[in-house]
Structure 1
Amino acid sequence: MGLNGSIPPEIANLSFLVSLDLIWNHLHGGLPKDICSHNKLSRLEELQLSFNHLKGEIPLSLGVCQQLEILDFSYNNFGGHVPREIGNITRLTKLDLHWNNLSGIIPKEIGHLNNLEFMGLGSNKLSGSIPKEVGNMTALIRLWLDSNSLSGTIPREIGGLNKLEMMWSDDNKVSGSIPREVWNVATLLQLRLKKCGRSYSTRDWSS
């Protein structure tokens, strides 16, 4: 639509709103901090804001949006941390935050999202290790963690994701051995580990 300007806080007064899709516009500024607080937007199931110029931190109040199933903020300029409160939105099937300026660690609370099928955190500035709690997300099909500053090793709990088809962890600082449990994921179609911190060991490749 070519929309510009900021997202007005009054949008949170639309108490019966189920879907808000503002992708491919020229919106800037941040999200209202109380966008989902005090029973505002309590029925919202879909929030898609990708391909804009939005910035600032992701509001902690999003954790109150218990009905959300799709949360897509990709291709923006959001900064700050990935809020651990997102782990409260247990109905989520899609969480896409890739291509932003997010920093800090991936919170372990993300593992509460056991309905999540797609998680995109790639192309940010995330650091720390991949939390082992990712292994609790048993519905996960696609996991994009590429182009960050993640370190440590690949958690062996990834081997419990028996629906996983695609895992991108390339262009990070991850090192160590590839856990043999990964080769138990029979659904896996694509595993990208190129340009990591140092070469992986092949000693654990046999199952």
Structure 2
Amino acid sequence: MSLQPFTSVTSQRLKELRTSVKQEEQKLYQWVQLNQHLQHGEEAKSILARLDEMSRSVQAIAQEFSLPIAEGAFWNSYMDQHETFCLDLTRTKLRCQISEWAESSESKCIFWLNGMAGTGMSTIARTVAKIFNGKGQLGASFFFKKGEAHRGNAKRFIPTIVKQLILHNHQLASGVLGAIQNDPDISPKAFQE
């Protein structure tokens, strides 16, 4: 009996087995990819659920309690769009002091910028706010302006700051909402409250 037909049958069978194994490997690879895709989908669903929860908190604040903000109080408000900023090489020492204060964990919680009216304090503050905003370090700003209804006093200072802080850090929304739910009339109260 000749071995040739036997080896050709065996060779043919081996080729078929190899093809079958490769097909099964491809199917297995596709299943692994599908499984990984589904896992990413679950992670995405979880992230979307958390974002939805934060969005609901922010919306609840907006619906339950309209934060009465002071229009034009932000450093980049439309109302003050023609206000000036410091020129590049001016007030550098003071601007440097403010930056060092903001970036040091050892600093006091307030940097008190004061001086006579018309000496450029608002210009310096606006410049620093613009720089901090560009670095992603600005949480909120409030620019008082004498003679304006909501910017001439501090009545809307806290709600204006709170609204900006919530927009920059959505995790604050649930705490603010809790405070509002505990005391719905908290906004117009005195600073001590």
TM-score higher than 0.5: no
The structure, 1 or 2, with the larger RCO (C-alpha pairs under 8 Å, 6+ apart) is 2
Say which structure is richer in helix. 2
- Taking structure 1 as the reference length, what is the TM-score of the superposition? 0.23
Say which structure is richer in strand. 1
Indicate the structure (1 or 2) with the bigger Cα radius of gyration: 2
- Taking structure 2 as the reference length, what is the TM-score of the superposition? 0.24
